[in-house]
Structure 1
Amino acid sequence: MDVINGGVDLLPGERLLDLEYADDIVLLCDNAQGMQSALNQLAISVRRYGMCFAPSKCKVLLQDWQDSNPVLTLDGEQIEVVEKFVYLGSCISAGGGVNDEINSRIVKARAAYTNLGHLWSLRDASLAVKGRIYNASVRAVLLYSCETWPLRVEDVRRLSV
């Protein structure tokens, strides 16, 4: 994409414009003009392949922008500004913290634990087997993508299981 003022600084002389996975995309820009340019160019690019975006499914998350109330559009429709959104199963928040993500992970891990309730009461399953199932099914849900979290001491305490 040929985008004016698009992307964010990654390394000196290197800019990161987007993150892509399957049919999910995140555009990264450090100002409203660059973001609108990226949105326009993306809309043109996908039309070449007979595709289109659903603006109602698109969101804008502002982080350290000077203009905190930009009006960004995709195919003539205004895009909703949000404080957080879910991308590839992880909650991304405007402040960059992980509190919302940890809360979400705890809820999902509790649900995974509850769904396996029949297993926890089995007398025939050894504690070692239950432990392995717990680690694979519950703990894995709790700690999904934790490698990318900027944790504080209080966050680590909440996650200790």
Structure 2
Amino acid sequence: MTDALEDHRGTVSISGRPIINLRFADDIDGLAGNECELASLVEQLDKASSNFGMEISAEKTKIMANSKEPSKKEIKVNGQILERVTKFKYLGSIITDEGSKPEILSRIAQTTAALIKLKPIWNNKNISISSKIRLLRSLVMSIFLYACESWILNADIERRIRAMEMRCYRRLLGISYKDHTTNEEVSRRIINAIGLHDDLLTIVRQRKLKWYGHTTHSSGLAKTIMQGTVNGGRRRGRQKKRWDDNIREWTGFELRNTLRRAEDREEWKAVVLRDLATHLVVDGHRGALKNDWAGTGI
């Protein structure tokens, strides 16, 4: 990549910092401000790869445009035209201009599939309820929570998360919808088995707030993207909810005050715990707030 980008001048920047690509191991995501720039980037990368005896896989390489105007320019690798898509998967997450909803719905589907595969465990009467719940959290819920720090939550998404969690608990407890058992009764049985606990939505909020505090103390690209600004204005009409809108709503602070508070680790811990306590009271859920900050960098 160093050789390929030596003479490349990108136009995508955040707060004046050029961002030409994102890469992790052999997964590379190139960024360009227009089609000609992207074609030049692909050509230089293809040439540099050939110098080291490697080649770009045209089959696995996709192009996605974040623009209302239709794409016209054909970009080729080894004589093959690269496919244009409206979404693609990068590091296990779906990237699309529709926000995080497609990724969350995909996670819900994957979680449901994992839940069904473990049916023999849920039906095994020799395994205690508390053990089944621990297995549910480690083998099923962990699939759903992957990269949840990057999600944008709204009322519809929060409703879907609660519904999925109840579906998991009902399957674990062997409760059919024909039994007409309320969600409150399901929650009571889970609490009786493992005691007070944070629900799934609370865990998502907690992880996102912790990551915000962790990133605020860093000095890398993540902080630049989270706090930086880009040239241009937002489109006319109703605006889509942004990632940091959740932070503002949950804490009750404007972003400039949130950044200042996040710089103080202890103060940010108090802000997060206060938000979680308020969240549990508003939603009517019982939960135990756990002050477990190990490994979060907060």
Q: TM-score, normalised by structure 2?
A: 0.50
**1:65, distance to aligned residue in structure 2 (A):** 6.9
| From 53, 57, 75, the counterpart of 1:72 | 75
Higher helix share: 2
SS in 1 for 2:18: strand
With over 3 angstroms needed to count, the CA separation of the structure-2 counterparts of 1:71 and 1:37, relative to structure 1, is same
* Number of residues of Structure 1 aligned to a counterpart in Structure 2: 159
Aligned residue for 1:90? 93
* Alignment pair present for 1:107 and 2:109: yes
1:148 aligns with 2:150: yes
Aligned residue in 1 for 2:42 = 39
Cα drift, residue 8 of structure 1: 2.1
Judging changes above 3 Å, is the alpha-carbon distance between structure 1 residues 5 and 32 closer, same or farther for their aligned structure 2 residues?
A: farther
Deviation per CA, 1:13-34, whole angstroms, max 9, x where unpaired? x111111122211101121111
Q: Unaligned regions of 5+ residues in structure 1, if any?
A: none
Q: What is aligned with 1:122?
A: 124
How much has 1:135 moved relative to structure 2?
1.1
Measured in 2, the distance between the counterparts of 1:68 and 1:152 equals: 31
Equivalent position amino acid for 1:8 in 2: V
Divergent runs of 4+, >4 A:
none
| C-alpha contact (below 8 Å) 1:90/1:101 kept by paired residues | yes
From the superposition, tell whether residues 83 and 38 of structure 1 become closer, same or farther in structure 2 (CA, over 3 Å): same
Structure 1 Cα separation of the partners of residues 95 and 7 of structure 2: 24
The corresponding residue for 1:136 is 138
What SS class does the counterpart of residue 105 from structure 2 fall into?
helix
**Percent of paired sites with the same residue:** 31
**How far did residue 120 of structure 1 move?**
0.7
Q: Map Cα deviations across residues 82-105 of structure 1 (whole Å, 9 max, x no partner).
A: 011111111111x24122212211
SS at match of 1:55: coil
Shift in Å at residue 124 of structure 1?
2.1
Distance 2:9 2:34 in 1: 8
How far off its partner does 1:132 sit? 1.2
Write the letter of the residue equivalent to 1:141: I
Is 1:59 the counterpart of 2:62? The answer is yes
- Counterpart of 1:99, as a letter, is K
How many angstroms apart in 2 are the aligned matches of 1:74 and 1:22?
A: 21
Structure 1 residues 127 and 7: alpha-carbon distance in aligned structure 2, compared to 1, 3 A threshold = farther
Please list every run of 5 or more consecutive structure 2 residues that lacks an aligned counterpart in the other structure.
166-298
Partner of 2:6: 2
Deviation at 1:66, TM superposition (A): 5.3
Pair 69,158 (structure 1): closer, same or farther in 2 beyond 3 Å: farther
The answer on 1:48 being equivalent to 2:43 is no
Larger proportion of strand: 1
RMSD: 1.8
Q: Which has the larger radius of gyration?
A: 2
Q: Which amino acid aligns with 2:14?
A: L
C-alpha separation in 2, matches of 1:112 and 1:67: 39
What TM-score, normalized by structure 1, do the two folds share? 0.89
